[in-house]
Amino acid sequence: MKNLDDFKRVSLGVLPTPLYKLEHLSRETGRNLYIKRDDLTGVSLGGNKVRKLEFLLADALENQATTVLTAGGPQSNHAMLTAACAARLKMQSILMLKKRGVLEGGNLILDQLYGAEVEFIDTDSYDDVYAAMEARMEKLRAKGLNPYFIPVGGSVPLGCLGYVNCAREIAAQAEALGVKFGHIVSSTGSGGTYAGLTLGAKLYLPGTQSVGIGVCDDPFETIALDLMQGTAVLLESEVSFGPKDIKIHYQIGPGYAQPSPEGMAAVQRLARTEGILADPVYTGKGLAGLFQLLEEGYFPEGENILFVHTGGAGALFAVG
Ligand SMILES: *Cc1c(COP(=O)(O)O)cnc(C)c1O
């Protein structure tokens, strides 16, 4: 197997992020709940995409890209963080966003602040967005520019390495704290974070099961396996895994990026017990999933459970 440190990676985040016990929430639920603060990755409002972008933008730099293009919903945390990281690396960013949902405020304010060019595409389908990106890249090339394409969420094997790396970080922190995690729980939107953590758990956290809380109705069981396979190939790893390693629970509510009562209650609960912000689109629903599993008795008594906080606070300010 290759060493993770052999891959080109540009240092963008402030890592490692903190990992500690949620004392109040643990007392309240009678369980041992820990948090990995990837909402504090150190660029902009923080969040999981910074870890993926460390590998993706290293590849862009290697390819001497002038311009980074990516896609998402209008309030995409991934698009916003791509703009922030690209600015830091002196690359232009073009964000091609679906013209659906909240079209002002929130992350769109930050996109402007980071100097990104934002283009709205009036469609429900990413196929249309990707076709528009292809056309745009052709135009850029004709002008002598060198575009670099990052798909939705940065969920390609290279991006997943960011979360294999996070699992390695968790393993070191768990050892330093003298705790062993039975489960790690994270929100799943395009699958890369979950795939990276699940593969990373196989490599660095034996005995720890990774659970994903799906916030849209994509089939993450197959998406995650495909991404894990691709990432294992990149790593030249022979670690064995299969469908039994994938545990996905869904917390979609009325739909992707639409607040749910359970998600908003979880946002409020985390804010009021621990003073930590979660968001209505991803981490609130992720926590709601965790609380539901706790209530159902999913986790064995006495086990240590880690919630990986993937960020997203910008969406709290996108109301419309
Ligand atoms: C993108 C995102 C996720 C989901 O990560 P994926 O790798 O796309 O599954 C979770 N939380 C937040 C805040 C995000 O921005």
pLDDT digits (tens, 9 = 90+) for 16-56: 999 999 999 999 999 999 999 999 999 999 999 999 999 99
Q: Indicate whether residue 92 lines ligand 1 (CB < 6 A).
A: no
Active-site residue set: 76
Amino acid, res. 113: L
CA–CA separation, 226 and 220 (whole Å):
10
Q: Indicate whether residue 78 lines ligand 1 (CB < 6 A).
A: yes
Give the ligand 1 atom nearest the CA of 39.
Answer: 13
C-alpha angle with apex 309: 305 to 312, nearest 5 degrees?
Answer: 155
pLDDT digits (tens, 9 = 90+) for 100-126: 999 999 999 999 999 999 999 999 999
Tell me what pLDDT residue 320 has. Answer: 65
Is residue 145 scored above 90 in pLDDT? yes
Q: Indicate whether residue 307 lines ligand 1 (CB < 6 A).
A: no
Confidence of residue 202 (pLDDT cuts 50, 70, 90): very high
Ligand 1 mean position to 192 CA, how many Å?
Answer: 8
Q: Write out the DSSP string of 31-44.
A: SEEEEEEGGGSSST
**Looking at ligand 1, which residue's alpha carbon is closest to its atom 2?**
189
> What is the pTM for the complete model shown?
0.98
Q: Indicate whether residue 314 lines ligand 1 (CB < 6 A).
A: no
- Burial per residue of 206-229, b for 16 or more beta-carbon CB atoms within 10 angstroms, e otherwise: eebbbbbbbbbebebeebbbebbe
